[in-house]
Amino acid sequence: MAKVTLVFAVLLVALGLAGYLGTRSLHPTALIPTWIGLALGIFGFLAMSEDAGRRKLFMHVSVTIGLIGFLGGAIEAVRGYLHAKSAGMEPDVIALASKVTLAALMLIYVMLCVRSFIAARRSREV
């Protein structure tokens, strides 16, 4: 699962950089997926350990970051959309797409982690 974490980290860094460059560097908050990706990358790298306890700890930290990323991305996407619509404007397409993509990536990541955790527990019980 640590390698999957590194893949998602790279995807998030790319998403953040694309959002930042897509806004022509006007909105530094577009880099939020990059920071989440860097955190996932660090903990994913640390989870590549032979020690099962260490691997378990860092993967649980990673999935917690993923869950926070999902919640934050989803809430901000809905909030940004509703705020723009209530002001009679169209939402910023790049920002909305970035938030929705962040939320979707993090949801997939969390689901994969939970599935992996369940499989690991079942294999220990047998």
Q: What is the tally of structural domains in the chain?
A: 1
What's the domain range around 85? 2-125
pLDDT for the residue 23: 78
User: Which tens digit of pLDDT belongs to each residue from 2-53?
Assistant: 999 999 999 999 999 998 888 787 778 889 999 999 999 999 999 998 998 9
Write down the pLDDT at residue 35: 96
C-alpha dihedral sign at 64, 67, 69, 72: negative
User: How many Å apart are CA 33 and CA 125, to the nearest integer?
Assistant: 37
Q: CB neighbours of 118 closer than 8 A, spacing ≥ 6?
A: none
Residue type, 119: A
Q: In whole angstroms, what is the distance from residue 111 CA to residue 84 CA? A: 31
Is the predicted pLDDT of residue 125 greater than 90, yes or no?
no
The pTM (predicted TM-score) of the whole model is 0.90
Lowest mean pLDDT among 11-25, 36-50, 60-74, 104-118: 11-25
